[in-house]
Structure 1
Amino acid sequence: MTGRPAPTALPPSLRAWLGLVAVLAALAVVALGVLYAGHSEPGTVDRWFIDPTADSVRPPWRRVALATDFLGEPAGSATLVVAAVTGCLLVCGRRAAVFVVAGVGVTVVTATLLKSLVGRTIHGADNLSYPSGHTAFLTALALVVALLATGRLGLGRTAGLSLVLGAALVAGAVMGWAQVALGAHYPTDVLGGWCTALAVVPATAWLVDRTADRLDGRRADADRSERR
């Protein structure tokens, strides 16, 4: 054993700032959920960005939107997660791999539960729309990868925060555009999915670190006991 501590899922330099972001994001998720609970039509904010009478996005951008949407489908998302976990096992270690699964998994489960709780629909009573699970998934994965990259590269607070929030913004914007363009979600659904990931991933990272540190401490105590 080298005695080198395992890299954390949540870099210490970002904990306070991402904690604040997570709280604000959670408040936004709740506020939007209360505002649009039980609705089946676009709200005022949604109409700023979409025209309900307009045709769907056309080629070649429709193909881009469909390809992006696939990344949030079961086959596409599973492929991305497996690739991320494999990369973590090869480069960053088990804690990082666990964080990928936990961060993405908890986010998707949270979004799914919120859909049933809020009950907002689009294109029929069976299509629950708030928050967007696709947007929550891709944003969560981007956040996880950016957090791990920040720790791996030893980035400071400013660079690390820029990378993490920038990755979340790009992933959320790309998937959010695809969902709205394909008529699968309202813009506020997308915003809710994005905020869900911002709220859940930092909290999950903290829990992963806390659990891993406790397990490491117990292993260290067991090793010392065996040497006596």
Structure 2
Amino acid sequence: MTDRSAPSVLPPSLRPWLGLIAALAALVVVVLGVRYAGHGEPGRVDRWLVEPTADSVRPPWRYVALATDFLGEPVGAATLVMATVTGCLLLRRPRAAVLVVAGVGMAVVTTTLLKSLVGRTIHGDGNLSYPSGHTAFLSALALVVALLATGRLGLGRAAGTALVFVAALVAGAAMGWAQVALGAHYPTDVLGGWCTALAVVPATAWLVDRMADQLGDRRAERTADAGRTERR
């Protein structure tokens, strides 16, 4: 984390595109939040896609949906995060390990705060639904892993951006399907959760790189000062 020579978690070649995607995603989150603030019923888009307040799948697909949903529950999420952090450390990517915790954590915290702020409910009062925290969690984790893969493979701007976007899309679609199928969220909640991850993770990755570089510079300065003192 303190070595400036360590690979960046947000490759410089991807920053312009991911920055644009993050800005657009943040805009979608805000627009949907304003549109559905205080609502307790599915919107027109939600009803057009599926009746989201009733289970829409039956076995065996219901079991698949439940298994996917478990990945966003505390035990499943903690297991995924710990496994990913361990993998990052084994690959000697401490910055990526920090991003796993910080990026995923920020995505979940952001959705929790937005739920209280927006106040959209499902299945009655008290069941806050916008945006979907489960969708944001898995999408954020997929983004972090894709960023790590991009750096390891040395992918260029186009290939790297495509990999990151597709990874987030697949993870978000899988968890989003499970949430809607189980009647836990409206489709627009899922979109909001996915966009939350797209907005938060690149910004968090940039902050992790910036803080790590600053700590590395300070460490280098202290080492240089110590060397000069010894020579005196």
| TM-score, normalised via structure 2 length | 0.95
Q: Do the aligned partners of residues 41 and 17 (structure 1) sit closer, same or farther apart at CA in structure 2, a change above 3 Å counting?
A: same
- Do residues 184 (structure 1) and 184 (structure 2) align? yes
Question: Post-superposition shift, 1:92?
Answer: 3.4
SS in 1 for 2:173: helix
Q: Is the 8 A contact 1:92 1:152 kept in 2?
A: no
Which residue number corresponds to residue 140 of structure 1? 140
Amino acid in the other structure paired with 2:186: Y
The RMSD of aligned alpha carbons is 1.3
Query: Sequence identity of aligned pairs in percent?
Result: 79
SS in 2 for 1:66: helix
Question: Post-superposition shift, 1:124?
Answer: 1.4
Structure 2 unaligned segments of length 5 or more: list them: none
| Separation (CA, whole Å) in 2 of partners of 1:85 and 1:114 | 27
| TM-score, normalised via structure 1 length | 0.96
Which residue number corresponds to residue 23 of structure 1? 23
Question: Post-superposition shift, 1:47?
Answer: 0.9
Which residue number corresponds to residue 91 of structure 1? 91
| Separation (CA, whole Å) in 1 of partners of 2:116 and 2:45 | 22
Amino acid in the other structure paired with 1:56: S
Q: Flag as ranges the 4+ runs of structure 1 deviating above 2 A.
A: 51-56
Describe how 1:46-61 pairs up with structure 2 within 5 A.
46-51=46-51, 55-61=55-61
SS in 1 for 2:193: helix
SS in 2 for 1:72: coil
Question: Post-superposition shift, 1:93?
Answer: 2.4
Give the length in aligned residue pairs.
226
Amino acid in the other structure paired with 2:187: P
| Separation (CA, whole Å) in 2 of partners of 1:219 and 1:55 | 56
Describe how 1:1-228 pairs up with structure 2 within 5 A.
5-51=5-51, 55-228=55-228
Amino acid in the other structure paired with 2:220: A
SS in 1 for 2:13: helix
Question: Post-superposition shift, 1:94?
Answer: 1.6
Question: Post-superposition shift, 1:4?
Answer: 8.0
Higher relative contact order (CA 8 A, sep 6+): 2
Deviation track 1:17-42 (CA, whole Å, cap 9, x = no partner) reads 00000000000000000000000000
